[in-house]
Chains A and B, each alone.
Chain A
Amino acid sequence: MRIVFKTDYMQDIRPWKDSFQLTMYLILLVIVAAAPWLLDDFYLGELTNVLIWAIAGLGLMILTGHTGQVSLGHAAFLAFGCYANVILIEAGVPFLIAFPLAGILTGIAGVTVAIPALRLHGIYLAIFTMALSILMDDVIVLAEPITGGVAGKYLGGVEIFGHLVDRWATPDQFFWLVLIVAIFVTLGYINLLRAPLGRSFIAVRDSEVSAQAMGVDVAKTKTLSFALSCAVTGWAGALMGLYAGAFNNETFSVIISIQLLMMIVIGGLGSIHGAFLGAIVIGFLPQFLSISKEYVAAAFGGNTVAIPGLEFGIFGAILICFILFEPMGMYGRWLKIRTWFELFPFYRKDMFKRQKSYLKTERLR
């Protein structure tokens, strides 16, 4: 049993509970940062991919997990960030300026989307953003002179201080670049959550009326959430572009939007951990499935032909199980396990019991 005694206010303000927890996270960070020496190039690439998805997940988490605004269209912002980054670089802007700028531009794009979307709630917002994502595909094709249309674009590595960072030529450097972005975004996110703005996001998510009564300007808060969310997503998109090397209008389809949302639900809505855990599932599920398919084929003598839709089918089934049995996602499950150990032997089953609220309509007659 582990108990943390609280002795001063800073303890609540610091992002870690105690030095034990801090040490654990630092050790984890060191191990991840050493991945280029521990993994071969294939798995390093996969890990890089997971981190990029995690950044995208953090972006969506701000909006959906913490502000409660469901977006089924974040692939549009991935695309925006990706194209903005590449177009800037092609125009001769150095990467270290182009990359931050790409995120900021995507944030501004997010604000222009947020303004008409402010009045939309729940499913209406979801369908609005989904339509945006579907349209983005066509827009990229139509804007061929800048986007390269269906033929797409290609970007072979970027230069940072005269040093080539490329997914294929220098996978280690590329991995560290992604890791640094992930760390910065995560730290910013942690700070946000312990400051008034982050709390006003949560307030808007849980009750708009009482947020208003506490002096939170709901429209402004949602707009800011969109801006931050889209900026982070834009950075993830820029990295995805670098990772893929070549991309076109179909790279960021609406399916990616849906996948991203499902990912953070599986990981656990409303937690930073959730974005990372979800990304691990998304990143490694295909590998896991192909390995287990070979295994099954070897054991029962079937064939290893690809089964169309298998990945999504399994993914969907996992998601359904989570919503039914563990709505707080993987992070929620982890919290329970951790509490069980910390309180051992005093854990009670009803400690995390959900109080169900009865649905009341927002519609009058």
Chain B
Amino acid sequence: MDNAQLLISGLANGCVYGLIALGFVLIYKATEAVNFAQGDFMMLGAFVTIGLTNTEYMGLPFWLALPISLGIMGALGYLLDRLIIRRLFGESQTAVVILTIALGFVIRFVAGLIWGHEPQTLQNPLAGKEVRFGGLVLGMEDVAVIVVTILLTWGLYVFFSKTRLGLAMQGASQNQLAAYYMGIPVKRVQGIIWALAGVVAGIAGILFAAKGSVDPTTGLLGIKAFAAAVIGGFGSLPGALAGGLIVGVIEPFASRYIAAGYSQIAPYALLLAVLIFRPNGLFSQVRVKKV
């Protein structure tokens, strides 16, 4: 029973990692760039929602604040691409990596200025509610996290593998020039993807802030989500979710069953093992350069 409880809370955490990882993969799939600030985006999404709905700030009704904050996050994602990332069109991946790391620092700083450095929770209609399931007691928030994550991953997966627009977006990433010649509006597609990644980060942030507290450094969680994305194999949406769940589940079990001091190593040790033995992730695709 105890283990089942651990499993559930691990899964709920893993879903949040998975959602951030989803953001990584989205951007990677469509632009071959990596957004190291995705975790900070999530933190920002959480704070924007808190700012809109918590009583000490604007105090809007939750269900009204939700679409507004997702809209804001989408717009931020789009603007980021429009104003910054797009200028790096055709530059190396590394430039984007370093730029987004720097961006993370800036976002953390700004969030600290606006919302302070104290941990805060999102006031939401699910707070404190519980579901009983056999002998298990599940927080409503945990259930919401799991359900929303699965739906979102599934939806994105279908979008990218089945719809024409989704396939076109993938095409745009694989060979920008060729896609351009084929009439795919590469730049617009990129903008849409970044907006989408913003929205996904917003959802992750809201779920995270509903089930725990956020402060400006919460975004560093992105590192674990990054591990999740790599474990799942960059470029695979269901893989990202699976990677997130693996990392999320390992953590509580490791801290229960492995000696203190070793337990927090577990996710990174797994990450290193995956990189060494299956460098393309557990659900891999092959990468060879063509000359």
Complex CA distance for A357 and B279, rounded to whole angstroms: 27
Question: Across the interface, do B223 and A122 meet the contact criterion of CB distance under 8 Å?
Answer: no
CB distance from B108 to the nearest CB of A (A): 6
* Contact partner, A361, options B32, B104, B275, B279, Cβ 8 Å: B32
Most chain B Cβ neighbours within 10 Å, of A315, A356, A359: A359
CB distance from B265 to the nearest CB of A (A): 5
CB distance from B207 to the nearest CB of A (A): 24
CB distance from B115 to the nearest CB of A (A): 12
Q: Does B255 contact A (CB under 8 A)?
A: no
Question: Across the interface, do A316 and B102 meet the contact criterion of CB distance under 8 Å?
Answer: yes
CB distance from A280 to the nearest CB of B (A): 18
On B, residues with C-beta under 8 Å from A are: 32, 34, 84, 87-91, 93-95, 97-99, 101-106, 108-110, 112-113, 117, 173-177, 216, 223, 226-227, 230, 234-235, 261-262, 264-265, 268-269, 271-272, 275-276, 279, 285-291
CB distance from B120 to the nearest CB of A (A): 16
Interface secondary structure of A, over-half rule: helix
Complex CA distance for A138 and B265, rounded to whole angstroms: 7
On A, residues with C-beta under 8 Å from B are: 70, 116, 119-124, 126-128, 130-132, 134-135, 138, 141-142, 208-209, 258, 261-262, 265, 307-310, 312-317, 319-320, 323-324, 327, 356-365
Question: Across the interface, do B174 and A356 meet the contact criterion of CB distance under 8 Å?
Answer: no
Question: Across the interface, do A128 and B97 meet the contact criterion of CB distance under 8 Å?
Answer: no
Question: Across the interface, do B95 and A365 meet the contact criterion of CB distance under 8 Å?
Answer: no
- With a cutoff of 8 Å between Cβ atoms, the chain A residues found around residue B103 in the complex are 316, 320
Known A356-B89, A363-B287; judge A123-B34 contact (CB<8 A): yes
Known A309-B105, A309-B216, A319-B99; judge A362-B289 contact (CB<8 A): yes
- With a cutoff of 8 Å between Cβ atoms, the chain A residues found around residue B91 in the complex are 327, 356
Complex CA distance for A208 and B84, rounded to whole angstroms: 29
Question: Across the interface, do A309 and B275 meet the contact criterion of CB distance under 8 Å?
Answer: no
CB distance from B110 to the nearest CB of A (A): 7
Question: Across the interface, do B93 and A123 meet the contact criterion of CB distance under 8 Å?
Answer: yes
- With a cutoff of 8 Å between Cβ atoms, the chain B residues found around residue A365 in the complex are 174, 285
Question: Across the interface, do A308 and B117 meet the contact criterion of CB distance under 8 Å?
Answer: yes
* Contact partner, B279, options A120, A265, A362, Cβ 8 Å: A120
